[in-house]
Amino acid sequence: MKKKALRKDFYIEIVKTRGRFISIFFIVALGVAFFTGIRSTQPDMKLSADQTYNKSNLMDIQIISTLGLTADDIEAISRVTGVKECVGTYSKDALVTEDDEQYVVKLLSYESSINQPVIKEGRIPENDKECFVDTHFLTSSGHKIGDKIYIESGTNDDILETLKYKEYTIVGSGSSPYYLSRDKGTSSIGNGNINSFIILSKDAFESEAYTEIYATINNEKESIAFSDSYDDTVDQVIDRIEKEIKAERIEARYLEITAEAKEELKDAKAEFQDEKGNAERELLKAKKKLDDAKIDIENGKSEIKKQEKEIAKGWQDIEASSVKLEDGKKQLSDGKKKLDASKKELEKGKIAYNQGLKEYNAAILDLNQGKAQVKQIEEQLAYMENPEEKAMIETALETQKQEIAKAELILEKTKVQLDKSKLDLSNGEKELNRATLEYNKSNLELSNNERKLHDGKKKLESGEKEILKAKQDLAKGEKDYKSGLDEYNQKKEKADKELGDAEKDLSDAESDIVKIKKPKWYVLDRNSIPSYASYGQDADRIGAIGEVFPAIFFLVAALVSLTTMTRMVEEQRTQIGTLKALGYSKFSIASKYIMYALLATLGGSILGGIAGSLILPYVIISAYQIMYENLSTITTPLNMEIMIWATLIAVVCVVMATFLACFKELAATPANLMRPSAPKLGKRVFLERIPFLWKRLNFTEKSTIRNLIRYKKRFFMTILGIGACMALLLVGYGIKDSIFSITNIQYNEIHVYDGIITLDTAAKNKELEEAKNYIEHNDYIQSSAMIHESIIEAESGSESKDVYLTVLENTVPVDDFYHFRNRVTKEVYSLNDDGVIITEKLSKLLKLDVGDTLILKNGDFDPVEVTIGAVSENYVMHYIFMTNNLYEELYNESPEYNEILYIAPDIEPDMEEDFTEDILTNEAIVSNIFARNISTDFEDTLDNLDVVILVLIFAAGGLAFVVLYNLNNINISERKRELATLKVLGFYDIEVSEYVFRENVLLTIIGTLTGILLGILLHQYVIKTVEIDMIMFGRNILLFSYIKSILLTFLFSIIINFSMHFKLKKVDMATSLKSVE
């Protein structure tokens, strides 16, 4: 009967105080939901990724060697204990160009057992002419299944040195677990960023050695990815690989490579000697041909000179002959004239002879006739023909006889003369005939000579033409000789250069063989996959937030619930006294309140636990899925362990507080309990001791101050509740400020360079110099600096951390690229030879300060000790900066510069791709990264936290609302008699509300100020707790975040005051003022 009545009273109490019950229920639900949800997110994120990885059988271990890997390596790795499966694969960075758009792609060989792609469309390649592409590639390039793509190397090397073909047909698309996010890493070709992956058949690759080997482990514990047990299992297998086979396989590969290199060198030397011999023989042959041509030219010149001399002499002879001919002609003409004259004379002589003969005969005749005439004249004078002679004869007939006698004498003489003339004529005729013959002979000879002269002239002219042609041929020969000589010299120079280069290459190759270092094996776990590591870090960030923030949130909820139950027990002391007087045991009486608290807390915990486990992780992981688009599975199981712990803590806190409050009241006698507790003694407040202020306050203001001071417990609990909620809001906004402000500070105020160029330290000195000159003379780059950057180990005591050692050139103005300063005081530091500058997070992790010493372990070098000269503000990664001189002093050698920092403010974002493509044409440049892209990528990573922070803020706001509502509800419930009295005294409803709300406003102001102080302290604690090893978050909260938190707190207060106004209107004066007895 008693129990039944108590149970009935219990149910009535829940219905009557349902507002309080629901507020406890939802406060606990909120606390548990937030606590469970945030703390479940980390394992749920890891579980979701693990299931995605398991579907594709993602590798557990990756082995990379600087000299490639072989089938023997695969066999050796397969024998290591713990290795389940092991395969060798090929990979290569390449370019695909479509419509003037260039895509940098990662070519991968297909493996059916490890790293299986997720097929979204089509199928896997079945032959060496097909390919499977990233879905993102299809979307961005506009390709579809069945299209052909053309692959290029992106370097001076022919892609056919790596692949069988250049053209492949797309047969499928999908995603790869290896690339959980869109970030595919960087490349040394194209614009430096890998856009997509393309999977080819193994047969499509021409490489002899594998690029990497992937292995899976025997995960007997079925540990999920990212867990310590999984990492331990993988680390154990990696340790076995490194200890059992690494050294042996390195040595084997080294011997294999050097043996092949020596054999190739031997063949190359033999080929070189053959080629050199052939080249020398060809050159000698060409030289002999040229020398013969030169001799022929010289002989030709001599022959031409000789012929020219002969021609000249010929012409001289012709001239002489011409003169002689002319003389001959003249002589012949003269001879002819003489001959003609002689002929004429001879004719004349003949005529004269004939005439003389005739005359002689005539004279004889005449003589005879004269004689006869004389006889006849004497007989006949008629025979005389000449009348004159006749006359003479007649006249001198007498004398004629005498004359005849004389004539006879004369005739005798004449006859002698005639005989002589005849003889002379005969001789003359003979002479004339001879002369005629001589003339004719001379004329013939002259004609012959003239013909010979003409022929000689023709011959000389022909000779001259021949000489001219010979000269032309000689000129052509000289030109050909010169051209041949030039060609010979060029070929000889080229051959000498090629032979010299070949000889140098052989010498270099010989030196390179000597210099060949044993290959380095990199045995890596999944953390070598950028998306795996970043996803794990993101999960750990959520886990870090879940370590602190939900606990504080939960404690605030538990504290308010505890206060609510304590107030409830104190309010019902009269009922407790009545029940005790009726004979109910202390436990029975206490069980009513304990069950009340238990039911509200347990119900809220169960609802909150389920809702938190299922909803919050899903919301947060879905937000991360924007970045990790290939996360195919979201798994949010009920995390019973966290739920049970959260429920247990909530139940224990609230129930224990209720239990203690009950037994405190139950310790009193029923008579005392049934009487109301004595009102609080009125005391003078501190303002009353300041008459100047107190006298200026009106009644309501004085009453408000007295009430605040009088109800100290309510005062402090309200301030604590409001302050805690204000602090939670401030912490939520503060975390956002701390996280999202670091990129701007890190990459705009501390690291002030615009980009980083990574150099290939294995490149030739000439190529490195060319790259350096290219950077120095680039129109866009204002200034640049060579730096050495490497990962080393920094050690102090038992603590050690991996850090980036950065060494700058002596000639570089450091302030142009790095600003070293104190985070708090902003004091600027300078780098000098006396010590190093370390970053702030590193100094805190190693518990070091300025003046302390630090041990640096740098690869093969002996550990060195350095003094810390300054601790500089830094947020991302750990750095140690030192001068070139200090490095040389520590390590006795100059640093190997492997990066170039540069400042290029004129390069706009749309110019970055072209600039990077241009800069990567240099053989010695491996990659180019813009600082703004580093900042953007980091911001993109942190953007995923934005959803988490918003959840924190909304949850804190919700909690603040519920807490304020609950505290106000308790305040009104406790002061019903006081409020009823005010109504009896004539206060209007609005005045009663103002009476209460005035106190609430003051308490909100004081709570807000308290919350600001508490929030600052809590923010510092939370930020330091949630920081991961390599990142330091900001320590400042922005002014706007203070304003937003204050405004939200006051907004909640105003809304609650408004809602409480209607509750105050319902206070019944008669019921509230009736005697408690």
Q: What pLDDT does residue 1077 have?
A: 47
Give 822's pLDDT tier (boundaries 50, 70, 90): very high
Q: pLDDT, tens digit, for every residue of 1034-1047?
A: 888 889 999 988 99
Contact 387, 445 (CB under 8 A): no
**Three-class DSSP labels, 377-388:** CCCCHHHCCCHH
pLDDT beyond 90 at 450 = no
Mean pLDDT of 677-700: 68
> Do 339 and 415 lie in a common domain?
yes
Answer with the residue of higher pLDDT: 829 or 331.
Answer: 829
Give 221's pLDDT tier (boundaries 50, 70, 90): low
> Do 302 and 450 lie in a common domain?
yes
Q: pLDDT, tens digit, for every residue of 603-627?
A: 888 998 898 888 888 888 887 787 7
Contact 24, 608 (CB under 8 A): no
Contact 647, 602 (CB under 8 A): yes
Burial of 745 (0-12, 13-18, 19+ CB in 10 A): middle
Quick one: which of 797, 732, 718, 745 has its CA closest to 1042? 732
Q: CA 953 to CA 93: how far, in whole Å?
A: 44
Indicate the pairing of strand 836-839 with strand 864-872.
Answer: parallel
Q: CA 206 to CA 317: how far, in whole Å?
A: 85
Cβ partners under 8 Å of residue 33, min gap 6: 607, 608, 609, 611, 612, 615, 616
Indicate the pairing of strand 118-122 with strand 755-759.
Answer: unpaired
Give a yes or no: residue 457 inside a domain. yes
**239, 265, 296 - which closes a domain:** 239
pTM flag (> 0.85): no
Q: CA 599 to CA 937: how far, in whole Å?
A: 49
Phi, psi of 217 (to 5 degrees): -110, 160
> Do 771 and 669 lie in a common domain?
no
Q: What pLDDT does residue 1012 have?
A: 92
The SS3 call for residue 371 is helix
**CATH number of 262's domain:** 1.10.287
Q: CA 793 to CA 861: how far, in whole Å?
A: 12
Contact 477, 293 (CB under 8 A): yes
> Do 285 and 359 lie in a common domain?
yes
Dihedral (Cα; 231, 232, 237, 238), 10-degree rounding: 60
Q: What pLDDT does residue 316 have?
A: 75
Q: CA 468 to CA 279: how far, in whole Å?
A: 38
Give the Å distances, CA to CA, from 556 to 562, 650, 720, 845, 963.
Answer: 10, 11, 9, 31, 9
755 DSSP β-pair partners: 902, 930
Domain count, the chain: 4
Indicate the pairing of strand 196-200 with strand 101-109.
Answer: parallel
Q: What pLDDT does residue 124 have?
A: 93
Mean pLDDT of 111-131: 90
pLDDT beyond 70 at 386 = no
Q: What pLDDT does residue 549 have?
A: 66
Sign of CA dihedral 536, 537, 542, 545: positive
**182, 216, 239 - which closes a domain:** 239
Neighbour tally for 405: CB within 10 Å: 12
Burial of 82 (0-12, 13-18, 19+ CB in 10 A): buried
Give the Å distances, CA to CA, from 529 to 730, 754, 828, 931, 942.
Answer: 36, 26, 38, 22, 19
> Do 30 and 131 lie in a common domain?
no
447-456, 637-646, 821-830, 891-900: least confident range: 447-456
> Do 468 and 335 lie in a common domain?
yes
Give a yes or no: residue 80 inside a domain. yes
Mean residue pLDDT of the chain comes to 80
- Segments in 218-246 forming alpha helices (H): 228-240
Quick one: which of 66, 69, 49, 52 has its CA closest to 214? 69
Burial of 914 (0-12, 13-18, 19+ CB in 10 A): exposed
Give a yes or no: residue 1074 inside a domain. no
pLDDT beyond 80 at 198 = yes
Mean pLDDT of 163-178: 90
- What proportions of the chain, in percent to the nearest 5, are helix, strand and coil? 65, 15, 20
Q: 578 is written with which tokens?
A: 């009545």
Give the Å distances, CA to CA, from 738 to 406, 746, 878, 935.
Answer: 180, 12, 18, 15
Give 133's pLDDT tier (boundaries 50, 70, 90): very high
Contact 589, 667 (CB under 8 A): no
786 DSSP β-pair partners: 900
Give the Å distances, CA to CA, from 643 to 380, 558, 637, 646.
Answer: 207, 15, 11, 5
Q: 366 is written with which tokens?
A: 């005449």
**Roughly how many angstroms between the first and final C-alpha of the chain, as a whole number?**
25
**Domain with 170 in it:** 55-239
Quick one: which of 318, 301, 299 has its CA closest to 460? 318
> Do 230 and 245 lie in a common domain?
no
Give 836's pLDDT tier (boundaries 50, 70, 90): very high
Q: CA 815 to CA 808: how far, in whole Å?
A: 11
> Do 441 and 486 lie in a common domain?
yes
pLDDT beyond 80 at 251 = yes
Q: CA 450 to CA 464: how far, in whole Å?
A: 20
Scored b (16 or more CB within 10 A) or e, 1044-1072 reads bbbebbbebbeebbeebbeebeebeeeeb
Indicate the pairing of strand 799-808 with strand 879-883.
Answer: parallel
pLDDT beyond 60 at 548 = yes
Give a yes or no: residue 497 inside a domain. yes
Q: What pLDDT does residue 375 have?
A: 64
Question: Greatest CA separation found in the chain?
Answer: 249
Q: 750 is written with which tokens?
A: 């501390």
Q: What pLDDT does residue 366 have?
A: 63
Mean pLDDT of 643-648: 86
Contact 481, 294 (CB under 8 A): yes
**652, 678, 704 - which closes a domain:** 678
Phi, psi of 805 (to 5 degrees): -90, 120
Quick one: which of 847, 848, 840 has its CA closest to 881? 840
> Do 752 and 869 lie in a common domain?
yes
Give 88's pLDDT tier (boundaries 50, 70, 90): very high
Scored b (16 or more CB within 10 A) or e, 650-673 reads bbebbbebbbebbeebbebebeeb
pLDDT beyond 60 at 1075 = no
| Counts for the chain of helices (H) and strands (E), in that order | 27, 20
> Do 40 and 65 lie in a common domain?
no
Q: pLDDT, tens digit, for every residue of 490-505?
A: 777 777 777 777 777 7
Q: 48 is written with which tokens?
A: 């979701």
**Three-class DSSP labels, 838-853:** EEHHHHHHCCCCCCCE
Give a yes or no: residue 572 inside a domain. yes
Indicate the pairing of strand 783-796 with strand 899-903.
Answer: antiparallel
Q: 550 is written with which tokens?
A: 């939900």
Quick one: which of 127, 33, 14, 18 has its CA closest to 557? 33
Quick one: which of 821, 993, 1007, 785 has its CA closest to 895? 785
> Do 495 and 538 lie in a common domain?
no
> Do 485 and 345 lie in a common domain?
yes
Give a yes or no: residue 1066 inside a domain. no
Cβ partners under 8 Å of residue 161, min gap 6: 153, 206
Give a yes or no: residue 1041 inside a domain. no
Specify the DSSP class assigned to residue 1074: S
Give a yes or no: residue 690 inside a domain. no
Q: Of the spans 151-155, 284-288, 675-679, which averages the highest pLDDT?
A: 151-155
